[in-house]
Structure 1
Amino acid sequence: MVNVMNEYRDHNAQEWQELEAMKEHIDRIAVPSAIDEAIKNGMRLGRQRRRRRVLTRMVSCTAMFMLLVMVASVRFSPTVAAYVGDIPGLRALVELINYDKGLKLAIENDFMQKVGLSEEHDGIKMTVDGILADESRVIVFYTLTNQDGRKRVVNLRNVKLANNANTSTSYGASDFSEKWVSKQGTIDFNFHEGTGIPELLELEVKFDEVNETATSSPVWKFNIPVDKTKFEGKKETYAINQTVTVEGQRITFGTMTVHPTRIGLEVAYDPANTKKLFYFDDIRIEDEKGETFGTIINGISASNISETKEVLYFQSNYFSKPEKLYLRASSIRAMDKNKLEVQVDLDRKKLLFRPDDRLTLVDVGTSSENGQGVLVFRLDNDHPLDEHRQYHLFSSTYKDASGKQFESNMTGSTENEFQYYIRKAEYKSPLTLYVEDYPSRILGDINLRIK
């Protein structure tokens, strides 16, 4: 391995310097534990949530070599080189490939559409570099450039398609230093069932902050052409239609649709089940060679159809053309339906009802940032599957003792503590919160032949 790295360094000095600079930058990033799982949990059920995108810290020689191989394959693969030469957002592509093997296959199979549209406001230039699109999804690759070195960008906001509101949107958020030069990222548009992809995407974007002294809030607008001939008819459908039972809970797997950028699997939960099934820990699609394609971890991972039905999204194996396919899982997070409510006595600062004694109330306080109330919980959990997982415990909807419904607009977590923010209001205590995910499980081998 060392010889290979030395040989590459000797013949590609400039590229090696770029890789070393990338490594040094990554090593300085403070990475929260299990960011992938936090993204997965936060975006479950198809809600639009912004999550901070970070690169995993890479400190070992082996990890550096893996990054080297990955970047080299993107730069020098014959099917990809034509795009990399013209698309500035190389690092965004590398990062995205690192997360999703299905998107890597799509790029390697000439599926990227180049765009190259730019617009500038207040010294900030945004360039739409390219898109990946199929009949269910469009991923927009973009680059931000700090033209005069003075402006700041905090986060994207109000990202939408002006000519198509029937979409769910996922996009990352990044920290920007005072001296940032350029940043790359992606915007993921999930088109709802029955919604066609338009031939022109009318993208509109705003930012939280462009300039501390700016008096306006400009909108970056792009009319992005979509070549629908690249993906029309490119999908495969499998009617699984099989029901399994795990610890008495019935689950039916319906139709699976394989698109070039992702796989959608219909899942139905028997209304007569005694437990609420939150999420599969290890569900995956596996081919005859043992190659696995797991659920999407950096984007929209599921969409609700109804209270008992949803579509789970997996990384796509469309371009690998497997001979055999299996659906496999062994662990599902679930809880008795009569334990799904948590009651908080605001006056006495105590829990009146909780799923089990692992959940405790640490504090009932007020946020110093915006004056909202904040409920701080502690979740003690030593399960091996949860070693690096941070839970999104509760639904955004809660109610007080009068039955009045409210919406929480913010949550947070630090290690084993969870913060749930509540509106400024006159509440009739206690408050009732609804459990959305929890470290309790049912176990059983699921092994279904798909193809």
Structure 2
Amino acid sequence: MSEFPDQQGQELQRLEAMKGYTEDIPIPSVIDEKIWNGIKAGRQRKRRRVMTRMVSYTACLLILISVASVRFSPEVAAYVGEKIPGLRSLVELIHYDKGLELALDNDYMQPVGLFEEHDGMKVTIDGLIADDSRIIVFYTLKNVDGQRSIVNLHEASLTNSKNMSSSYGFSANNEDWENIQGTIDFYPNEEGNIPDTLNLKLEFNLETETASKNTKWKFAIPVDKARFEGLKEIYDINQTVTVEGQEITFGKMTVYPTRIGIEVAYDPANTKKLFYFDDLRLEDEEGEEFGTITNGVSGSTISENSQVLYFQSNYFRQPKHLYLRASSIRALDKDKLEVKVDLEHKKLISRPDGLLILKDIRAGDKEDQDKLVFELKNEDPLDQDRMYSLFNMKYKDDSSQSFDMLWTGSTGDEYQFYIEKNNYQSPLTFTIEDYPARIHGDINLRIK
């Protein structure tokens, strides 16, 4: 089994080089057409840019989903409404995360109130929640002049902290928008390496009937680091479980106010590649569950066989007993991870099973692109309305030369992958990153 580092500093040095990812989750059927349009637009961001933020396109989209289905406890909403006027509706964005709700309920929000107005818009930085593991910035975008336009958050970065990755995204496809509210997540690559001031740079893209332009915004956001310094708890789980012959070791668990990180290692001798846990969660003595993060970064890769998984935080709950539980894991035999595509005959040479079908290879939306269209047939109730990332964003041709996917999209059970036009040596080989195949077994570990 992979060994975990004994010291937090060692772990975080390894995390600095990590690739982040997010887990695909079922999407509520109540999302209306406008939100779906936003999802489709958001899914078509270039992967290269997204990967540098340690988050896949799915992370950006889940923020849209939360907007469509949020509810918020009256107690928390009332509290925040009194502390930070005008922010009550904004904080509803985080209802999907119990840990952030608890943080708000325990006076953990730092009000900001900075704003700028130009180009017919007003951008306000309303507040933030932060600890040594994560920063969540809350903002509001107001259409001041009422101009009809489609607006997208094109970039969000910190100019004075290059060692932080970020997760964000929204798309307002309703041209008559008035107010847009959202969040931006930042993740420090070294614990506690957070500046006293966040020099935030934002870039919004506005498209009207006659023109398209990018507007830039800068804010110097003060951070009250005394509010969260030293707020963490560490538990050594160090237990190994076996599920259908596959060994999994749960190592150290670190509890922060904004999220919980649990180290997980997979035995290199396992015959299957384990993708994602379907229902991994923390559960206290009263049966209350704290599931994995479903917005932003839900995990970070340490090595080929080890990672950190992130959970909603129960830091402010302080349970008497705590258990780690799961019953199914998406996994696939390691010898079935490659999908080979014969470009000339437009057919699959290899695939894991009959669920995956190549529907077409045709010209993309631009002259220098081709589009591969796949269908993933799947009737498992666990996958209802689930969108899969399916393939890794790197692929290779028969000469073993590696290439980067341009971008991807999906509609229902159809998946589109856009690649550069090239004189490839056929076949192309794609590596499966997630797939509707599973192993089952009860995981029930007592942590405290």
2:385 to 381, 384, 388: 388
Residue 51 in 1 paired to residue 56 in 2? no
* 1:307-336 residue CA offsets vs partner (Å, 9 max, x unmatched): 111111100100011000000011011111
Contact 1:124–1:146 (CA under 8 A) maintained in structure 2: yes
Contact 2:150–2:175 (CA under 8 A) maintained in structure 1: no
Residue 95 in 1 paired to residue 83 in 2? no
Structure 1 residues 329 and 75, CA gap change in structure 2 (3 angstroms)? closer
Q: Which residues of 2 match residues 111-150 of structure 1 at below 5 A?
A: 111-150=108-147
Shift in Å, 1:399: 0.7
Shift in Å, 1:28: 5.5
Residue 430 in 1 paired to residue 432 in 2? no
Residue 368 in 1 paired to residue 369 in 2? no
Tell me, which stretches of 5 or more residues in structure 1 are unaligned? 1-25, 59-65
Shift in Å, 1:433: 0.4
Query: Structure 1 CA distance, aligned partners of 2:33 and 2:273?
Result: 38
Shift in Å, 1:403: 1.3
- Amino acid of the residue matched to residue 91 of structure 1? S
Q: Which residues of 2 match residues 173-212 of structure 1 at below 5 A?
A: 173-194=170-191, 196-209=193-206
Query: Structure 2 CA distance, aligned partners of 1:310 and 1:273?
Result: 16
* 1:392-432 residue CA offsets vs partner (Å, 9 max, x unmatched): 10000001111111111311111111111111222111100
SS in 1 for 2:290: strand
Query: Structure 2 CA distance, aligned partners of 1:407 and 1:152?
Result: 32
Query: Structure 1 CA distance, aligned partners of 2:273 and 2:344?
Result: 30
Structure 1 residues 223 and 57, CA gap change in structure 2 (3 angstroms)? closer
Residue 292 in 1 paired to residue 289 in 2? yes
Query: Structure 1 CA distance, aligned partners of 2:208 and 2:377?
Result: 43
Shift in Å, 1:390: 1.8
- The structure carrying a bigger helix percent of its residues is 1
Q: Report the equivalent of 1:82.
A: 82
* 1:190-224 residue CA offsets vs partner (Å, 9 max, x unmatched): 12244611111111111223667679744211111
SS in 1 for 2:172: coil
- Amino acid of the residue matched to residue 55 of structure 2? R
Contact 2:279–2:327 (CA under 8 A) maintained in structure 1: yes
Residue 309 in 1 paired to residue 306 in 2? yes
Shift in Å, 1:29: 4.9
Q: Report the equivalent of 1:236.
A: 233
Contact 2:31–2:65 (CA under 8 A) maintained in structure 1: no
Q: Which has the higher contact order (CA 8 A, sep 6+)?
A: 2
Structure 1 stretches of 4+ moved >6 Å:
42-45, 212-216
Query: Structure 1 CA distance, aligned partners of 2:211 and 2:217?
Result: 15
Contact 1:399–1:431 (CA under 8 A) maintained in structure 2: yes
Q: Report the equivalent of 2:278.
A: 281
* 1:48-80 residue CA offsets vs partner (Å, 9 max, x unmatched): 53326135767xxxxxxx94xx36333434xx3
1:337 to 314, 334, 337: 334
Residue 265 in 1 paired to residue 267 in 2? no
Cα RMSD after superposing both structures: 2.6
Contact 1:102–1:317 (CA under 8 A) maintained in structure 2: yes
Query: Structure 2 CA distance, aligned partners of 1:74 and 1:324?
Result: 25
* 1:68-127 residue CA offsets vs partner (Å, 9 max, x unmatched): xx36333434xx34324x2x3432211312x11111000000000001111223122111
- Amino acid of the residue matched to residue 76 of structure 1? A
User: How many equivalent pairs are there?
Assistant: 407
TM-score by length of 2: 0.85
SS in 2 for 1:320: coil
* 1:132-168 residue CA offsets vs partner (Å, 9 max, x unmatched): 0011100000000111112635211221111112222
Q: Report the equivalent of 1:12.
A: none
SS in 2 for 1:318: coil
Structure 1 residues 112 and 285, CA gap change in structure 2 (3 angstroms)? same
Structure 1 residues 214 and 162, CA gap change in structure 2 (3 angstroms)? farther
SS in 1 for 2:226: helix
- Of 384-393 and 397-406, more deviation after overlay is shown by 384-393
Q: Report the equivalent of 1:18.
A: none
Query: Structure 2 CA distance, aligned partners of 1:332 and 1:46?
Result: 23
- Of 171-180 and 48-57, more deviation after overlay is shown by 48-57
TM-score by length of 1: 0.84
Contact 1:169–1:187 (CA under 8 A) maintained in structure 2: yes
Q: Look at both structures and tell me which one has the larger radius of gyration over its CA atoms.
A: 1
Structure 1 residues 390 and 270, CA gap change in structure 2 (3 angstroms)? same
* 1:5-47 residue CA offsets vs partner (Å, 9 max, x unmatched): xxxxxxxxxxxxxxxxxxxxx98655559x8xx99xx999943
Q: Report the equivalent of 2:12.
A: none
SS in 1 for 2:168: strand
- Amino acid of the residue matched to residue 51 of structure 1? L
Contact 2:34–2:174 (CA under 8 A) maintained in structure 1: no
Tell me, which stretches of 5 or more residues in structure 2 are unaligned? 1-29
